[in-house]
Amino acid sequence: MDIQAHKLNPDLLPQLIQELADIIGLAAALKLVKAYPGVSLYIPANPHPDHPLASIIGFDALCELSKVYAQETLTLPKLDAAERQIKHQVVAEMLDQNHSIRTVALATGYTSRRIQQLRSHHFTNPQTDLFKD
């Protein structure tokens, strides 16, 4: 499942991703983390347009990143929690639309059993929002 910036609550992301998002925008930060999940990444002091990072986030974003993190090595987090957040949101939306458990499982990559667990754990009834207390 592809991570889309508009579906995420940025406050739930790891601190480094939030910092990157403040500098280069959330969409570019997610592209960067998706390209280098859980590994170290060196930020050049004097980036050039054909730098590999420029092809991922754009040269302007790379220049902005370089202003803050020049010659630093960042260890980028994985986005497992963010992916779960989106998948749970999709589950909630699909169940609210009365899709079958089987259809929701196939769409999200979860098992039918996991969809049942999410539904019973997060919903007091099928029309309740997954993210409300």
- Residues 42-69 have pLDDT tens digits of 999 999 999 999 999 999 999 999 999 9
Enter the pTM of the model. 0.66
pLDDT of residue 132: 45
Share above pLDDT 90 across residues of the chain, in percent, rounded to a whole number = 53
DSSP state of 41: E
For residues 74 and 41, the answer to whether their CB atoms sit within 8 Å is yes
DSSP state of 58: -
DSSP state of 78: P
d(CA 19, CA 102): 38
Q: Which residues contact 111 (CB under 8 A, 6 or more apart)?
A: 105
pLDDT-derived band at 86 (thresholds 50, 70, 90) equals confident
For residues 77 and 56, the answer to whether their CB atoms sit within 8 Å is no
- Look at 130 and 45; give whichever has higher pLDDT: 45
